[in-house]
Amino acid sequence: MKFDTPATTNPIDQLKVVGKPTDRIDGPLKTTGMAPYAYERHDALENVAYGYVLGSAIAKGSIKATDVSRAKAAPGVLTVVTAQTAGKLGKGDFNTAKLLGGPDIQHYHQAVAVVVAETFEQARAAAALIKVDYERAKGTFDLASAKDGAPPAGKDNPDTAVGDFDKAFADAPVKLDETYLTPDHAHAMMEPHATIAAWKGDKLTVWTANQMVAWSRGDVAKTLGIPKDNVRLVSPYIGGGFGGKLFIRADVILAALGAKAAGRPVKIALQRPLMFNNTTHRPATIQRIRIGATQDGKITAIGHESWSGDLPGGGPETATQQTRLLYAGANRMMKMKLAVLDLPEGNAMRAPGEAPGLMALEVAIDELAEKLGVDPIELRVLNDTQVDPEKPGRPFSQRKLIECLRTGADKFGWAKRSARPGQVRAGRWLVGMGVAAAFRNNLVMKSAARVRLEKTGRIVVETDMTDIGTGSYTIIAQTAAEMMGVPLHQVTVKLGDSSFPVSAGSGGQWGANSSTAGVYAACVKLREAVATKLGLDPAIAEFSDGRVKLGNQSLPLAQAAADAPIVAEDAMEYGDLTKTHQQSTFGGHFVEVGVDAATCEIRIRRMLAVCAAGRILNPKAARSQVIGAMTMGAGAALMEELVVDKRIGFFVNHDLAGYEVPVHADIPHQEVIFLDETDPMSSPMKAKGVGELGICGVGAAVANAIYNATGVRVREYPVTLDKLLKDMPVVA
Q: Per-residue DSSP letters for 705-726? A: HHHHHHS----BSS--HHHHHT
Which among 452, 572, 577, 580 is positioned nearest to 504, based on CA atoms? Answer: 572
Q: Are residues 454 and 534 in the same domain?
A: yes
What are the start-end ranges of the H helices in 313-353?
Answer: none
Residue 562 CB partners (closer than 8 Å, separation 6+)? 455
The DSSP-derived string for 651-672 is ES--STTTS----GGG--EEEE
**Any domain includes 437:** yes
What does the pLDDT read at residue 6? 53
Residues 362 and 423 in one domain: yes
511: in domain: yes
Can you say whether residue 719 is alpha, beta or left, with left for phi > 0 and alpha for psi between -120 and 50 degrees?
A: beta
Q: Which residues of the chain have pLDDT under 50?
A: 7
CATH number at residue 667: 3.30.365.10
Answer whether 596's CB lies under 8 Å from 551's CB: no
Q: Given this model, what pLDDT does residue 203 score?
A: 98
Q: Does one domain contain both 481 and 558? A: yes
Contact indicator for 709, 646 with CB cutoff of 8 Å: no
Final residue in a domain of this structure, among 573, 606, 623: 573
- On whether residue 380 sits in a domain, the answer given is yes
Per-residue model confidence (pLDDT) at position 580? 87
Work out the burial of residue 107: count CB atoms within 10 Å of its CB; fewer than 13 is exposed, 13-18 middle, 19 or more buried: buried
81 domain residue, yes or no: no
Last residue of a domain, one of 540, 573, 606: 573
Residue 385 shares a structural domain with residue 459: no
586 and 710 part of one domain: yes
Q: In the prediction, which pLDDT does 731 show?
A: 60
Same domain, yes or no: 449 and 388: no
The runs of H, that is alpha helices, within 373-510 are: 376-382, 401-412, 472-484
Query: Is 718 found in the same domain as 600?
Result: yes
Residue 393 lies in a domain: yes
Q: Are strands 61-67 and 131-136 parallel, antiparallel or unpaired?
A: antiparallel
Cis preceding linkage at 103, omega within 30:
yes
Q: What is the pLDDT of residue 575?
A: 85
Q: How many domains does the chain have?
A: 2
Q: Domain of 450?
A: 11-33+445-573
Q: Where are the beta strands (DSSP E) in 99-222?
A: 104-105, 111-117, 131-136, 160-162, 174-182, 194-200, 203-208
357 and 437 in a single domain? The answer is: yes
Question: Could you give the C-alpha distances from 372 to 175, 291, 294, 299, 330, in angstroms and in order?
Answer: 10, 12, 9, 11, 19
- Evaluate whether 314 touches 157 at the Cβ level (below 8 Å): no
One domain for residues 592 and 680: yes
Contacts (Cβ under 8 Å, ≥6 apart) of 620: 21, 22, 23
pLDDT tens for each residue of 120-175 = 999 999 999 999 999 999 999 999 999 999 999 988 999 999 999 999 999 999 99
Q: Residue 552 burial (CB < 10 Å; 0-12/13-18/19+)? A: exposed
SS3 92: coil
Let me know whether 383 and 363 are in one domain. yes
| Sheet of strand 285-293: strand arrangement | 160-162, 331-340, 299-310, 285-293, 174-182
- 365's enclosing H/E stretch is helix 354-372
Q: What is the spatial distance between Cα 422 and Cα 401, in angstroms, rounded to a whole number?
A: 28
> Do 457 and 432 belong together in one domain?
no
Is 119 within the bounds of a domain?
Answer: no
Torsion of CA 343, 348, 349, 353, to 10 degrees: 100
Amino acid type, 368: L
In this structure, the answer to whether residues 590 and 711 fall within a common structural domain is yes
Active site residues: 692
Residue 190 lies in a domain: no
Would you say residue 26 lies in a domain? yes
Give the pLDDT score at 618: 98
Whole-number pLDDT of residue 470: 96
Given 507, 540, 573, the domain boundary residue is 573
Task: Provide the pLDDT for residue 93.
Answer: 86
Cβ-Cβ contacts under 8 Å for 7 (sequence gap 6 or more): 680, 684, 686
Closest C-alpha among 309, 291, 289 to residue 301: 291
Length of the chain: 732
Q: Are 476 and 463 in contact (CB under 8 A)?
A: yes
In angstroms, rounded to a whole number, what is the distance separating the alpha carbons of residues 21 and 28? Answer: 17
Q: CB atoms < 10 A from the CB of 2, how many?
A: 10
